[in-house]
Amino acid sequence: MPAGSEAREYIALIDVNSFYVSAERVFDPTLRGRPVIVLSNNDGCVIALSKEAKALGVTMGQPWFKLSETADQLGLVAKSSNYELYGQMSDRFVGVLGECASQVQKYSIDEAFVKLTGTPTELLTWAKMVKERVWKHLGLPVCVGVGASKTLAKLSNRAAKKLDHLGGVCVWEAVPEAHREQLLSNLPVDEVWGIGGRMAKRLIGRGMYSVKDFRDADPVMLRDRFSVVIMRLCLELRGTPCLPFEEETEVKGQLIVSRSFSEPVTTKAEMAQVLSVYAQRASERLRRNHREARTLTVWAKTSAYSSDAGNEPTVTVRLASATADPVTLTREVKALLPKLTEGTRYAKAGIGLTDLEEPGQAATFDLFADAHEDRNIAPLIESIKSKWSQPSIGLGAAGLKVGQAWEMKREMRSPRYTTQWDELPIVHAK
């Protein structure tokens, strides 16, 4: 049997091309083939763009106020961030992958790892099937890279994306060895997943200019001169899996909910509403990831360019017990309010939850337990929201359904086709 033709375990990385733009195009086909950009919070700058927009010279991070002057002339279409739509399409994307493989690890909103067993030829067929299936079921264009490790899967995915003749699919071991070696020789060392600019400079200083140089380096030297993490990346490039495959995507060391305001918040009453909304969003995310927090940090910030610059109150609260309860978090975030100054123009606020653990890690004594936690308030709120939409209910000031002036500005947002009844697309039959 030829080398590399036996069935064995592989890792595939599937990612959606220009995910935010592609999600917009699913429900608005008139955007296909046109230069499209998606803007950051408060319509600030470019965070996603189509290849047609790149061809016009648009780059990531460009401020919208500079592009808006010539957008119509260039035919450039701008969209505000539609996080509700993107989140739903991401879940559907992972759902389709789950129909094609038994082990899926969601890595980010637009990409996921899949564990597979087969020969390179079988996996090439599988990869083409997945690409076609995601397009047929969701209308999302994807690239698929398959390798013996996560790092090789990442590298294969990049090749699938950049080399047109591969058709968006690359199984590393199905590529002729001479071509693989040439590609590794041409790629700079900072193309390795996990190696940033600073580390790349250090590696270049040791004579490792290309990915091939890095792969062929002595692993023990890399461990001693740099770190065990760098050594593992080298081994991964050689086909030895060193990075764990985790089927469950979870909150790691901390959870942060923070946004800049479209209009400054100047009163404690307004800030109380902001923090209540953020606390309940944090509660939802904790529960969704099966986590509870023991420490809560709350802060507010002014703009660096305002006369109030430097006014940045913060407070940290050690919770009586680990919790994801929305009532408790909504109550505790108000500890920041006495530190605020009325009339100050706060531009941003946020909450951070740390010391995360799985529910039930430690017993809660009756002395510290809130009676409402036994009433299952959080599941009740979530069930109502899942049936009647996100703003249908909330605790205290966060239950106000009318949009507030401080809320994120999204003047060019497309409809939330998949999450709001009154924004569902309508199909007319002739």
Q: pLDDT tens digit string along 30-42?
A: 999 999 999 887 7
- Tokens linked to 95: 């759902």
Instruction: Please report which confidence band the pLDDT of residue 51 belongs to, taking 50, 70 and 90 as the band edges.
Output: very high
pLDDT value at 402 more than 50:
no
CATH number of 255-360+373-387: 3.30.1490.100
Neighbours of 289 (CB within 10 A): 16
pLDDT single digits (tens) 284-332: 888 888 889 889 999 898 877 677 777 789 989 888 888 888 888 999 9
Domain boundaries 187-248, CATH class: mainly alpha
Residue where the block lists tokens 């002036």: 405
Looking at residues 147-157, what average pLDDT do you find? 93
**Spatial distance between the Cα atoms of 253 and 355, rounded to a whole number of angstroms:** 7
Three-state secondary structure call for residue 341: coil
- Structure confidence at residue 407 (pLDDT): 58
Task: Write the secondary structure of 270-334 as one string of H (helix), E (strand) and C (coil).
Answer: HHHHHHHHHHHHHHHHHHHCCCEEEEEEEEEEECCCCCCCCCCCEEEEEEEEEECCHHHHHHHHH
Q: Of 367, 14, 290, 364, which Cα lies nearest the Cα of 156?
A: 14
What local confidence, expressed as pLDDT, does residue 253 receive?
66
Residue 14 has pLDDT above 90, yes or no: yes
The fourth-level CATH superfamily of domain 1-175+411-429 is Reverse transcriptase/Diguanylate cyclase domain (3.30.70.270)
pLDDT in tens, 111-126: 999 999 889 999 999 9
The alpha carbon of 362 is separated from its chain's Cα centroid by a whole number of angstroms, namely: 31
pLDDT of the residue at 96 = 92
Domain extents in the chain = 1-175+411-429, 187-248, 255-360+373-387
Residue 430 has a pLDDT of 73
Does the structure show a pLDDT above 70 at 385? no
Residue 268 has pLDDT above 60, yes or no: yes
Tokens of residue 385, six digits:
């929201």
Cβ neighbours, 10 Å, residue 186 = 11
**Tell me, what's the pLDDT at 254?**
78
Gap between the Cα atoms of 251 and 188, Å rounded: 32
Q: Which of the four pLDDT bands, split at 50, 70 and 90, describes residue 106?
A: confident
pLDDT tens-digit map of 213-251: 999 999 999 999 999 999 999 999 999 998 877 654 444
Report the pLDDT value the prediction gives residue 255, as an integer from 0 to 100: 85
Taking only Cα atoms into account, the Rg of the chain, rounded to an integer number of angstroms, comes to 25
